[in-house]
Amino acid sequence: MTPDLECTDLTKRFGDTTAVENVTFSVPPGSFFSILGPSGCGKTTIMRMIAGFLEPSHGDIRIKGRSVLNVPPNKRPVNMVFQHLALFPMMNIADNIGYGLRRAGLSRADIDRKVQEALERISLPGIGARRVEELSGGQKQRVAIARCMVLEPDVLLLDEPLGALDLKLRERMKVELKSLQAAFDTTFVYITHDQSEALVMSDAIAVMNEGRFEQIGTGRDLYYRPDTAFVAGFVGDTNRWGGRIERLDGDSMALRTDTGMILRGATHGRAFAVGDRADVFVRPEAIRISYAEDDLSQFDNRLSGRVTSILFDGAASRVIVSGADGPGEIEVNLPQSGEFAALTKGAEVHIGWASDQGNCFAAGAR
Amino acid sequence: MRSEARLGLALLLTPLLLWLSLLIFLPHVDIFLVSLRERIGVGKYQISFANYLTFFNEPLYLWTFFRTAVMSMLATVITLLIAFPVSYYIAKMVKGRVQSGLFLLCLVPFWVSELVRTFGWMILLRETGIFSKLLQAIGLSDGPVEMLYNDGAIMLGLVYTSMLFMVVPLVTTLESLPDEVIEAGYDLGGNGVSVLREIIIPHAMPGIVSGCIVVFMLSLGNYLTPTMLGGKESLWFTELIYSQFIVRFNWELGAAFGFMLLILSSAIVWGMLKLTGQSLEKTMG
Amino acid sequence: MIPSIPQPRFLTAAYTAYVVLFFIFLALPLVVVAVFAFNDSQFPSLPWEGFTWNWFFGSERPMIGVFHERSILRAIGTSGFVALFVSVLSVCVGLSNAFLFNRYRFRGQGVLYVLMLLPLVIPGIVLGISILVFSSRIANGLWDGFGMDVEALRPGLLLVVLGQFSFITTISTLVIGARLKKFDRTLEEAALNLGAGHLTAIRTITLPYLAPAMIGAFVVAFLMSFENFNTTLMLVGSDAPLTIAMFDRLKEGSTPLLNAVSLLLMVGSSCLALIMIAFQRKA
């Protein structure tokens, strides 16, 4: 099956700076694809090239197998939900949604019918006559999507559309966007700097940094098997220690940190030599905490220390443990099963984790 | 606290009320009263519509009145047509330093007296002027060409003088239109014409209306440009008011003329606001 | 059409050419006026007779320069005097109005705001004659009733000041009001919280914040007053401000002397404008 969207060697230079460098990816039909990266990494540039507002310096963009490089933005079979939505304030809701249909030269009756259908689809029937500023943030969001979807684009681009919403609404819109995508059965390309948005909604995510794609994969892949140190650090929270490799044994390795601790980790197939500098990444939730050292006997990394602070955040509560002679401060997830409810600052605890939870990357790699 | 607030309100209200009543409201009531006065003897007056009858019965007055109105409207439309693309260019096509530079350049003529601007056009257009000499020099004309003292010259002067008052509100409103919205228009299949008609112009409407109102007012009330650039035949209504007041010392008729001009301008401004669904506070304030 | 929308090249070129033409159109009369201030001839026109400073510094007939022409110098002085009065007055009243409309809510405020805007849509010449008629009525009333002859109410500088003030105040109110609208009231509350009284808070926090707008309003008022023609024409007495004096001369015929005065005006107003921009930048 031809992918809905295919970019090959896409490059964009502005003067001396390269905003996007040799980016290649393809998005299969009907899937939700996200580009995740910090601000300024070039993700908006990719989006604008796909929409036709920027011309690539090099490379090709194909939609349903056909190159669109010479197609002006108003003729491309892609539509875009803009960062600030760009609803037309001078028109009411129905006219906003009908705008593209009018451009396509549909009859008045057809436009009215399609607009009504679209409004029902986004569960906002009967708001056609309202003005844009009368709508709530979430409603505007849905109208902006409906305005594109009535045109039945091959690909819908979404440029951080949830950024302006408050936290609660953003959580709800994540679920809603995902179900809208399923309902319309259209390929969505979504860009964001918010990992949770990308992880929750996407079928596949590309992590982008300084103009390049670091890794493309499912949320699970990125989270548990990051390819690069940048991905390990950017997706999810993590503890990170630098040191020198002491021992290598197949996939497992041991690293002496700069503070003198020995940590065991996994190379996951990456090539190292004894004596290389490397960083080990361990997620807070991969670390078990216990009052008794014996509970942790199954782990090959074990430490003792004191709780230096408790970061209560409901289900995401953590403690920071400072090792007695260990590698500085360690963030550890606090199980909410009740046994640590009485944990106080200064308490002595033991922590441990399995060596294959420790992802190891060559130092200096970001 | 309450009485303090009241005192503050009273203190701030006083200058405003003095200004509006003594310099705006009462003087206008007064010219209306004077315009209703008919002189029936030395120092003797009676209330009548005689001055207005004179106005309506004298073809020259009426003709000048309508001519002034129509030409002012024409000047407004021409100014809008010339200024819109330029304002759009400044607001949307260029950014940063070039943008503020071009905008400042537009303001420059405003910093200079209207008299100087008019004088400049006189030097350019008159029989012994630059254009005439240039035309002769390149052989397009055998003798001196008089381009001054006609309606075309008046129109040119009015458009030139008013340009700034159209460009500034247009640039301001156009600048407030996010690029994103224009891009969305194209992204959804629009082309240059439809984006202009459905997105840019509706968005710029408050600016267009306020520009048009100011330019129309300035043209209608202009005295200098028609006097200096217009010919003997091209009378402007303000010239009639001036001559009644200063030359003939017939204040009663002059006041009636003034009041007619006020009614005309108010009616057209009001009509323009109603037609476009704008309000004076929104377009001017 | 914006730069991110691809357009045919000739269209972009034609558009740019149009804008260039527009700016030539804008500059042309001013450039011509400036250039012919230096023509060594009795007429501000071609042919070019050579460069001279005489129209500025000349002291002998027939080329008496601006700096030796008493009447012009006097007129400049008069204009400056009037403009100074008008701008001080209108900035003060404008400041008061801005506070009134921003800080208070009272019945009839909306109507008053529209009334405040009205001077912008009254033709200048009508403003002029109405003030002329009204002040004459008062003067006549005082003469008839009390035998007082109040010369100030007859055409002259006081009326010119009042006439210009009557519409320039609207502009200064709008300029200052626009900045006051952007003022964050919590700054004032913070000052109160830190122990300042109401008036002290306004003096130490709000007024410094408004300073650029007040300077801007002052400069705009000064320039508008200096170059005002229509209203002034109806109210002027024996002391003619510069625009009126130049108008009278221009009716008699133009000499490069007028170009020289105009050039000085241009330089003067550009300097004022630059000062204002500098202040606005700092804000």
Higher local confidence (pLDDT), C255 or A143: A143
pLDDT score recorded for residue A327: 60
Together in a domain, A206 and A249: no
Residue B42, judged by CB atoms within 10 A of its CB (0-12, 13-18, 19+), counts as: exposed
User: Does residue B52 belong to any structural domain of this protein?
Assistant: no
B256 touches chain C (CB under 8 A): no
In the numeric block, the tokens 């002290």 are attached to C200
Judgement on whether residues A185 and A79 belong to the same structural domain of the protein: yes
Q: Is C102 in the B-facing interface, judged by CB distances under 8 Å?
A: no
User: What span, in angstroms and rounded, lies between the C-alpha atoms of B188 and A80?
Assistant: 8
Contact list in B for residue C119 (CB cut-off 8 A) is: 24
Q: Of A160, B79, B116, nearest to C32 (Cα)? A: B116
Domain region containing B12: 1-33
Nearest to B113 among C2, C243, C270 (CB): C243
Give the model's pLDDT for residue C7.
78
Q: Indicate whether C46 belongs to any domain.
A: no
On whether both B27 and B76 belong to a single domain, the answer is no
Is residue C121 less than 8 Å (CB to CB) from chain A?
Answer: no
Within a domain: residue B199? no
End-to-end distance of chain C based on CA atoms, in angstroms?
33
Contacts of C4 in chain A (CB under 8 A): 48, 53-54
Contact A360, A272 (CB under 8 A): yes
Query: Same domain for B28 and B167?
Result: no
pLDDT of residue A11: 93
Whether residue A128 sits in one domain with residue A27: yes
A151 and A111 both lie in a single domain: yes
d(C-alpha A357, C-alpha C67), whole Å: 89
pLDDT exceeds cutoff 50 at A366: no
Count of domains for chain B: 2
Q: End of a domain among A232, A258, A288?
A: A232
Whether residue C6 and residue A54 make contact (CB cut-off 8 A), yes or no, is: no
Among B227, B254, B120, smallest CA distance to C248 is for B227
Based on the fold, state whether residues A225 and A275 are members of the same structural domain.
no
Are A103 and B186 in contact (CB < 8 Å)? no
**Contact check, Cβ <8 Å, B265/C125:** no
* Share above pLDDT 70 across residues of chain A, in percent, rounded to a whole number: 98
Q: How far apart are CA C41 and CA C49, in angstroms?
A: 6
B232 pLDDT tier (thresholds 50, 70, 90): confident
How many domains does one find in chain A?
Answer: 2
Provide mean pLDDT across the span C157-181: 91
The residue range of the domain holding C203 is 75-252
Q: How far apart are CA C241 and CA C78, in angstroms?
A: 5
In a domain, B200, yes or no: no
B190·A99 Cβ contact <8 A: yes
pLDDT at A170: 85
The answer for C 171-210 residues in CB contact with B (under 8 A) is 174, 177, 198
Sign of the Cα pseudo-torsion (C254, C256, C260, C263, in order): positive
List the CATH number of the domain containing A289. Answer: 2.40.50.100
Q: Do the strands A262-266 and A212-217 form a parallel or antiparallel pair, or are they unpaired?
A: unpaired
Which pLDDT score, from 0 to 100, does residue A256 have?
85
In this complex, is the C-beta atom of B9 within 8 Å of any C-beta atom belonging to chain C?
yes
Residue C12 lies in a domain: no
User: Does B6 lie in the same domain as B131?
Assistant: no
Structural domain harbouring A61: 5-232
Residue C241 preceded by cis peptide, ω within 30 = no
Q: How far apart are the first and last CA of chain A?
A: 36
* Cβ contact, residue pair B189, A104, below 8 Å: yes
Strand A32-36 to A204-209 pairing: parallel
C-alpha distance from residue B72 to each of B68, B154, B156, B237, C152 (Å) = 6, 10, 12, 11, 36
- Judged by a CB distance cut-off of 8 A, whether residue B269 touches chain C is yes
What is the C-alpha to C-alpha distance for residues A217 and A199, in angstroms, rounded to an integer? Answer: 11
Domain termination site, one of A181, A212, A232: A232
Confidence bin at C282 (pLDDT 50/70/90) = low
User: In angstroms, rounded to a whole number, what is the distance separating the alpha carbons of residues C32 and B117?
Assistant: 10
Looking at the structure, tell me whether residues A329 and A200 fall in a common domain.
Answer: no
Phi, psi of C11 (to 5 degrees): -65, -45
Number of A/B CB contacts below 8 angstroms equals: 68
Query: CA angle at residue C27 from C25 to C30, to 5 degrees?
Result: 125
Tell me, yes or no, whether A177 and A283 share the same domain: no
Chain-chain contact of B187 with A99 (C-beta, under 8 angstroms): no
- In this prediction, residue C263 has a pLDDT band, given cuts at 50, 70 and 90, of confident
Section C238-257 average pLDDT:
84
Candidates B15, B31, B133; nearest CB to C133: B31
Q: C118 lies in a domain? A: yes
Last residue of a domain, one of A172, A207, A232: A232
pLDDT average, residue stretch A228-237: 88
In a domain? residue B78: yes
In this predicted model, what pLDDT tens digit does every residue of B22-41 receive, in sequence order? Answer: 988 999 999 898 888 887 77
Would the pLDDT of A289 be above 80?
yes
- State the CATH number of the domain containing residue B149: 1.10.3720.10
Number of domains in chain C: 1
Q: Which residues pair with B37 in a beta bridge?
A: B47
Residue whose entry in the numeric block shows the structure tokens 């007040």: C214
Asked whether residue A288 falls in the same domain as residue A342, the answer is yes
Instruction: Say if CB A306 and CB A326 are below 8 A apart.
Output: no
Q: At CB < 8 A and 24+ separation, what contacts does B171-175 make?
A: B171/B87, B171/B90, B171/B91, B171/B103, B171/B106, B172/B207, B173/B203, B173/B204, B173/B205, B173/B206, B173/B207, B173/B208, B174/B87, B174/B88, B174/B91, B174/B92, B174/B200, B174/B203, B174/B204, B174/B207, B175/B91, B175/B92
Please say whether the beta carbons of B103 and B94 come within 8 A.
no
Q: Which two tokens stand for residue B241?
A: 């008011």
pLDDT at A323 exceeding the cut of 80: no
User: What end-to-end distance do the CA atoms of chain B give, in Å?
Assistant: 31
- How do residues A291-302 score in pLDDT, each as one tens digit? 888 888 888 888
pLDDT digits (tens, 9 = 90+) for B179-193: 889 888 888 888 888
Which stretch of A308-317, A322-331, C23-32 has the lowest confidence by average pLDDT?
A: A322-331
Same structural domain, A254 and A107: no
Does C13 fall in a domain?
no
Indicate whether B140 belongs to any domain.
Answer: yes
Q: Is A59 left (phi over 0), alpha (psi -120 to 50) or beta?
A: left
- Range from A265-274, B67-76, C102-111 carrying the lowest mean pLDDT: A265-274
Q: How far is B44 from chain C (nearest CA, A)?
A: 15
Burial A246-263 (b: 16+ CB within 10 A, else e): eebeeebbbbebeeebeb
pLDDT above 70 for C238: yes
Residues B25 and B147 in one domain: no
Gyration radius of chain A over CA positions: 25
Q: Does residue B47 lie within any of the structural domains?
A: no
> How confident is the model over B150-163, as pLDDT tens digits?
888 899 999 998 88
Question: Residue A61: its pLDDT value, please?
Answer: 93
Average pLDDT of span A311-338: 80
Tell me which residues of chain C, numbers 4 to 63, contact chain A at a CB-CB cutoff of 8 Å. Answer: 4-6
Average pLDDT over residues C37-51: 74
Residues of C in Cβ contact (< 8 Å) with A52: 6
| Domain presence at residue B154 | yes
Residues A54, A20 within the same domain = yes
Minimal-distance CA residue of chain C relative to B89: C19
Residues of chain A found within 8 Å of residue B184, distances taken between Cβ atoms: 80, 82, 86-88
A contact chains, 3+ CB pairs < 8 A: B, C
CATH number of the domain that C113 lies in?
1.10.3720.10
Same domain, A301 and A161: no
Interface of B with A in 179-198 (CB under 8 A): 180-181, 183-191, 194, 198
Q: Which of C66, C118, C134 to mutate to test the interface with B (most CBs of B within 10 A)?
A: C134
A48 touches chain C (CB under 8 A): yes
C47 vs B: CB within 8 A: yes
